[in-house]
Structure 1
């Protein structure tokens, strides 16, 4: 592990921003935007590695396992963010995708001194959630060398869990502890060492890809619609109505009435209309066909 931070790609000075402090506002923004455009290309270069990681996650989650993100600072916060958005978006349990950050929930808003330096703390945090060999642990560290993340991956490997990692440097240390390493090399930051910028954006993009792809494979999407959306407020109820309306030939009023009979179960509402089957039959078929609406419709049309 390099002791000199300047040796890390994420800590090097960006030659394109050496005089950013002398620029006008529009030039500052253009410079940041230009650098950000390179992030998507860096992610593209890792699509093969990301694909392998998605398939590994799906294999475990489809059999009852969980996806656990673990990280410190910005990386940890991004993991918590992605995990927290899965239940309302895809209707999954809050335990299916979890985010663990060094220092605990307080670290989401405040820097917790020394938390990221403890490998033992990561082990303790994973033990608290009862990590097993059926789960997947994704270590997040822009620098690729955070001790807390290394400790988490070490423990996960020890008990037989599937491990993957996301970093933004070449040959990251955490890559050596992951079965499925992902290295998105975004280059030096606009502001030297400010990895909440390009590195943070890259990690967010990869996390979006991981969780979204797994949810698609789990049957949480029909076409490109979020059919397991949880209608916990009026906006989401309207979205559910719109989805049913979009997937059928029903009017908005008819879609709403149908959803009320299914207690706003969007999947069953679509299937009832498309197959003519009753609610219980639709529920049974979803279980039979891995919650995949398209598969059920292909088998049981009106």
Structure 2
């Protein structure tokens, strides 16, 4: 274990294999309860990043995530959910994982150890000074992320990171470092657990706040969501009916005609 590496510190629990299933579940849950409080402490560092991302989006910028393993998968997940949820192009938020899309399902050995590969991957999307790059690395030591942030800085791309260790190499490279220290994992070193949960919460907070400030939510509704299945059509119908005070049959006709909740409401003629 490296000194100061919280994510590698030994679990507070031992002899896990001797625990009952109930004890395993209760103890994991007890550890998970600590995550939200750690994320709360990070809010002062998340806030200015969100504000800067919004400014850059309004000037044509984009948001990129890079990471390896669990961290990379979480970035890709957050990026992939923005288009259906907020009706935005898939070019607005882009997630990249070390080893490429194949690494989403299977580990790609040594992919995260290349300091230069992230920048090669980012250049395929013509990343530029209008954009923001968020490096995600629980350990804060991932070369793929360190190198990507370093090269982004050299090319005037605004950088940020989400890490679960204090004073890491990744944080040193980021203009906006977000360090969310959740403590040792229930299974020692298994950062897909508390660290992964913390990272997902923060990515949710970043992308959701950005989309709200860009006007992609009205009231508390996803008025630009893609109507890609029956469940979402039903949800959209209820939103239109409630907003306009009309019956659901008419609301659905309006929704299907105008293709979005926002358009259905805005184009309704009494």
Provide TM-score, normalisation by structure 1: 0.87
Q: Which runs of 5+ in 2 are unaligned?
A: none
The CA deviation string for residues 149-199 of structure 1, in whole angstroms up to 9 with x for no partner, is: 011111111111111100001112111111111000000000000000000
CA deviation after TM superposition for structure 1 residue 88, in Å: 0.6
Aligned to 1:10: 7
2:91 matches 1:95: yes
Moved over 6 A (4+): none
- The match for 1:42 among 26, 38, 41 is 38
Aligned to 2:219: 223
Aligned to 1:186: 182
CA distance in 2, matches of 1:95, 1:36: 33
Report if aligned partners of 1:165, 1:175 keep a CA contact under 8 Å in 2: yes
CA deviation after TM superposition for structure 1 residue 6, in Å: 6.0
- The match for 2:61 among 37, 44, 65 is 65
- The match for 1:234 among 230, 238, 262 is 230
Larger relative contact order (C-alpha < 8 A, sep ≥ 6)?
A: 2
Report if aligned partners of 2:4, 2:166 keep a CA contact under 8 Å in 1: no
- The match for 1:270 among 254, 265, 269 is 265
CA distance in 1, matches of 2:144, 2:36: 27
Q: Which runs of 5+ in 1 are unaligned?
A: 277-301
CA deviation after TM superposition for structure 1 residue 19, in Å: 2.8
SS at match of 1:225: coil
CA distance in 2, matches of 1:53, 1:19: 41
CA distance in 2, matches of 1:7, 1:20: 24
Provide TM-score, normalisation by structure 2: 0.97
CA deviation after TM superposition for structure 1 residue 5, in Å: 3.8
SS at match of 1:70: strand
CA distance in 1, matches of 2:86, 2:130: 21
Aligned to 2:21: 25
Aligned to 1:106: 102
- The match for 1:198 among 190, 194, 197 is 194
CA distance in 2, matches of 1:156, 1:236: 38
CA deviation after TM superposition for structure 1 residue 250, in Å: 1.2
Aligned to 1:211: 207
Alignment of 1:155-166 (within 5 A): 155-166=151-162
CA distance in 1, matches of 2:260, 2:146: 41
Q: Which moved more, 1:264-273 or 1:50-59?
A: 264-273
CA distance in 1, matches of 2:242, 2:141: 47
